[in-house]
Amino acid sequence: METSKKPIIGFVIAVLILAGIGFLTINSGAIPKPSAGVQDVGDWGAVTEQHTEIITTFWTNNPYPFDFTTGKTLHVHYSLSLNGITVAEGTRDSVDLPRGNTTQTQSTYLQNNRLKLWWVQFLRANETVHATAESRIRITTPIKTWKYQASRTHSQFENQTPILDSLSQATEQTEGRYVRTQDLNIGPIRRNVTVGAEVQDARATWGRVNRNQTTVLVRFRIHNPSETIPIIVDPTGLRMRVDVNGVRMFRSGHGVLSANSTERTLLLPGETREIVIPVTMDNDKVDDWFRSHVQNGEHSTIAVYTHLVVDPLGSGTPIRVPSGDGVTYRCHMQTAIFEDDQTVTTTCGKR
């Protein structure tokens, strides 16, 4: 029984001491003031498929000659918002407040299911990352309550669009003239004719983006240089694959640009037309990519593979645009949400 009474007796003595100190110091106008602050608003901790840890380091200064180890003396709250979406939030109560100067840490976990919401706002902000990390600390004693707050807000990739730039660069590099001569029966006469396509302008733009799906619109201005043979353009003939840190983000295409599609476009000889082909991504991929981005020191490598496959009407043999396995475009992007002294940079958009 005596052992169980010791913490209670210690707490009562502490309260009496505080009351005495409070009476004397209030009358003298100098209340001993515990203080606290944030030493580091966040560092990345352990990353697993289930969660991503954020570690906040804070300091305390207890001027009293004893520890506070009972009650809710120290309260810590932390949150991280990306583009206005709170992706991590946590509260820790009943934190010990040792005497003197101490340093402690608080772990908060990223809510992975919120990353899809952030992704939508990120794209709507023209791929600018707005990050706000905030910590609130409250110290409560029998005499008084003190509150402290620290926050850090910064923006990254203003006036830069690394993801869209990588898609556009890969698409742009399909521009060129892709033709061949071939013997074909034109009516009763067999003739040596030119078949193929010219890609005069190619680029990518963002299409519809919602919580579940992201659409990229791949635009090609295609010219049919043949004098006699039309060509058929079909969305299934665009082969595009986008990997970010090895995570398959976008993928499209399984066939050739042939007459088998209800969405086909017929280009008559000498005709030029803009063809828009949508490519989609399941936004569940954002979680996989973001975890890899954190694990890789907030660095991502974007690899885009793309080409068109066209089948001139009556030719019977598809033409790859460009020839071979298509275009491979590779670039890098680096953020600094929690990576101290790291430069925010991207090589995307450069040849």
Q: Would the pLDDT of 297 be above 80?
A: yes
**Nearest by Cα to 46 from 330, 291, 239, 331:** 291
- Give the pLDDT confidence score for residue 6 in this predicted structure: 43
pLDDT 10s digits, 301-342: 999 998 887 777 655 677 777 777 677 899 999 999 999 889
- Say whether both 248 and 168 belong to one domain: yes
Number of residues that this document lists for the chain: 351
Q: Give the number of domains in the chain.
A: 2
The sheet carrying 85-95 orders its strands as: 85-95, 74-82, 129-140, 145-156
- Do the Cβ atoms of 97 and 60 come closer than 8 Å? yes
Residue 235, classed as helix, strand or coil, is helix
What DSSP element (H or E) covers 135? strand 129-140
pLDDT above 90 covers a percentage of the chain that reads: 48
Q: Is 293 exposed, middle or buried (0-12, 13-18, 19+ CB in 10 A)?
A: buried
CATH number, domain with residue 206: 2.60.40.10
pTM, two decimal places: 0.82
- Say whether both 224 and 283 belong to one domain: yes
Largest CA distance in the chain: 115
pLDDT-derived band at 16 (thresholds 50, 70, 90) equals: very low
What is the average pLDDT score of the chain? 83
pLDDT higher for 202 or 20? 202
- Say whether both 81 and 169 belong to one domain: no
DSSP 253-264: --S-BSTT-TT-
Residue 351 within any structural domain of the chain:
no
Domain end (from 156, 171, 204) = 156
Q: Would the pLDDT of 173 be above 50?
A: yes
**Nearest by Cα to 40 from 111, 122, 102, 103:** 103
- Say whether both 43 and 192 belong to one domain: no
Q: Would the pLDDT of 29 be above 70?
A: no
Q: In sequence order, what E strands does 63-112 have?
A: 74-82, 85-95, 100-109
- Say whether both 141 and 251 belong to one domain: no
pLDDT 10s digits, 232-286: 776 667 888 999 999 999 988 654 333 344 567 788 999 999 988 889 999 999 9
Domain end (from 91, 123, 156) = 156
- Give the pLDDT confidence score for residue 141 in this predicted structure: 78
pLDDT-derived band at 13 (thresholds 50, 70, 90) equals: very low
Spatial distance between the Cα atoms of 254 and 237, rounded to a whole number of angstroms: 7
- What is the rounded end-to-end Cα distance, in angstroms, of the chain? 78
Spatial distance between the Cα atoms of 202 and 170, rounded to a whole number of angstroms: 9
> Domain range spanning residue 44?
2-156
pLDDT-derived band at 1 (thresholds 50, 70, 90) equals: very low
- Do the Cβ atoms of 64 and 99 come closer than 8 Å? yes
What DSSP element (H or E) covers 24? helix 2-28
Q: Within 10 Å of residue 229's Cβ, how many Cβ atoms?
A: 22
- Give the pLDDT confidence score for residue 341 in this predicted structure: 87
φ, ψ for residue 75, nearest 5 deg:
-125, 130
φ, ψ for residue 269, nearest 5 deg:
-55, 130
**Phi-psi region for residue 196, left (φ > 0), alpha (ψ -120 to 50) or beta?**
left
- Say whether both 108 and 197 belong to one domain: no
- Say whether both 167 and 295 belong to one domain: yes
Spatial distance between the Cα atoms of 73 and 94, rounded to a whole number of angstroms: 6
Paired tokens of 275: 């063809």
- Say whether both 31 and 131 belong to one domain: yes
Residue 50 within any structural domain of the chain:
yes
**Stretch 1-25: mean pLDDT, rounded?**
42
- Give the pLDDT confidence score for residue 236 in this predicted structure: 67
- Say whether both 134 and 167 belong to one domain: no
Q: Would the pLDDT of 20 be above 60?
A: no
- Say whether both 212 and 87 belong to one domain: no
- Give the pLDDT confidence score for residue 26 in this predicted structure: 42
Within 13 Å, how many C-alpha atoms sit on residue 87's CB side? 28
Spatial distance between the Cα atoms of 254 and 63, rounded to a whole number of angstroms: 70
Spatial distance between the Cα atoms of 156 and 130, rounded to a whole number of angstroms: 7
- Say whether both 152 and 63 belong to one domain: yes
Residue 334 within any structural domain of the chain:
yes
Domain end (from 156, 184, 207) = 156
Q: Would the pLDDT of 158 be above 70?
A: yes
- Do the Cβ atoms of 254 and 222 come closer than 8 Å? no
Q: Is 322 exposed, middle or buried (0-12, 13-18, 19+ CB in 10 A)?
A: middle
- Say whether both 53 and 169 belong to one domain: no
